[in-house]
Amino acid sequence: MNELSKSVLFSSLPSFISSLEATMILMVIPLIAKDFSITYVKASTLLSIYIVTEVLLSIPFSLLAEKVGVKMVIILGTMIMALSSFLIIFSNSFLLILILRIFQGVGASMVLLTSLSYASLIGSDEERGKMIGLNHTIVSLGYVFGLPLGGIIAEINWKYLFAITSVLSFISLFLILSLNEVHAKSGLGINIIYTSLIFDGIILGLYYPPFLLLSLVGLVMTLWKIKLGKVFYLTSLSGFLHSITRNMIAAFFVFYLYSLHLPALIIGSLVLLYPLSFTFVSFYAGKLHDKYKLRVASFGFVSMALSSLSLFFNVILGEFLLGASSGIATTSNTAYTMSSVRNKDRIVASGIRSVQGVVSNTIGLIIASYFRTFLTPYAEITVLLNLASLLILGIVVFFANIE
């Protein structure tokens, strides 16, 4: 492994840990509810408070990363995750654990944006797709291992989940210290908060609809004040729509396989097929993007739409096809989006893209929870949103040809 790849590996580890815990905790929420004699809904606030914190702070922290450097923010975020996870191990109050989960969300919001920032800023434009592909591969491995590991922990002691997060964070912290610092200052300044309002309004609006007005205000002000270019905004929109389907389909497989009442080990193994195929393809999709650019993302969106039809014939085959298609589309589209902005704007652009991922994940889970195991709406939604993403890429190409 060359030095460039090693740097991306080390800088992506905190995001891997964050995604690992985000998946593991799904398996222990029922146990936490039982131990504290609270409802499942109340125990689930451990998930929602974490997500809301990530969304509210990721973009503002991009301003901090511009000021003090990407490496420094990675270190701060990883340290906060390590310490808050460690304290949860010794906490016997649900309220205290909830507060510490907020701190975990603060740390996660820092590492979420900086891992993509680092992968986007180091190396040449010719290698950017490969570096972003490596970043996506590492982060998605957290989701791959999180479910089975969470199932094992659920059988022993749910607090071991936070012990694992804490230990891995401290190890990651040691490795990060060897990275070179990366600086970039866009000059957008406080205006970037307008973009934050878009996603803050969406995520808060999912819990209280009037907050959606914030999104409208944020959108208007973003288009007026923040000049990142129409290519960035259009490809970000295409990625956002696709990401909703990616997360929706991932949740569907979990719900569907559990509905079959198979043994837990078999369910855990089958659920892994989707993220494993995504992870395997992501790195190679990044390398292909460096050569073929938007054609790779376009192929990914088309294949994602077509692969959804395989769910009507064989769900297991659908896991392979949809995971691989999503890996192609996600990695290539992200690489193109990040390449479309100036080098100095890539920290704030990473913050925007990262928080998009959190919001789209939440929307995908809500859709999946509503439809559960009904095949029909999943296929239609996947086809429509990915074809819409493809249409948006067509608009990007059109603009590129007339300029």
The model's pLDDT over 246-278, given as tens digits with 9 standing for 90+, comes to: 888 988 887 788 788 777 667 777 878 888 898
The model's pLDDT over 133-183, given as tens digits with 9 standing for 90+, comes to: 888 888 878 876 776 787 778 778 899 999 999 999 999 999 999 898 887
**pLDDT score for 1:** 63
How far is Cα 216 from Cα 209, in angstroms, rounded to an integer? 12
pTM value?
Answer: 0.86
Instruction: Report the amino acid identity of residue 359.
Output: V
401 pLDDT band (50/70/90 cuts)?
low
- How many residues are recorded in the chain? 403
How far is Cα 271 from Cα 147, in angstroms, rounded to an integer? 8
The model's pLDDT over 40-79, given as tens digits with 9 standing for 90+, comes to: 888 888 988 888 888 888 888 988 898 899 999 999 999 9
143: three-class secondary structure by DSSP: helix
CA distance readout (Å), 251 to 5, 88, 112, 113: 31, 27, 21, 24
Rounded CA Rg of the chain? 20
104 pLDDT band (50/70/90 cuts)?
very high
Treating both helix axes as pointing N-terminal to C-terminal, what angle do 315-339 and 346-371 enclose, rounded to 10 degrees?
A: 160
Give mean pLDDT, residues 381-398: 93
Handedness of CA 282, 353, 375, 154 (dihedral sign): positive
**pLDDT score for 402:** 61
Residue with the bigger pLDDT between 338 and 2: it is 338
262: three-class secondary structure by DSSP: coil
Query: Is residue 389 over pLDDT 90?
Result: yes
Give mean pLDDT, residues 184-188: 78
Comparing C-alpha atoms, which of 54, 187, 65 is closest to residue 121? 65
Comparing C-alpha atoms, which of 287, 388, 291, 278 is closest to residue 330? 278
**pLDDT score for 403:** 57
The model's pLDDT over 201-249, given as tens digits with 9 standing for 90+, comes to: 898 888 788 888 999 999 888 888 888 888 999 999 999 999 999 888 9
Place of tokens 């809904």: 41
Give mean pLDDT, residues 186-190: 77
Could you give the residue ranges of the DSSP H alpha helices within 183-314? 192-205, 212-225, 230-259, 264-271, 273-292, 294-307
Q: Flag the least confident range among 84-88, 97-101, 122-126, 350-354.
A: 122-126
The model's pLDDT over 287-331, given as tens digits with 9 standing for 90+, comes to: 888 888 889 999 999 999 999 999 888 888 999 999 999 999 999
Comparing C-alpha atoms, which of 146, 135, 151 is closest to residue 258? 151
Q: Which two tokens stand for residue 108?
A: 């996660």
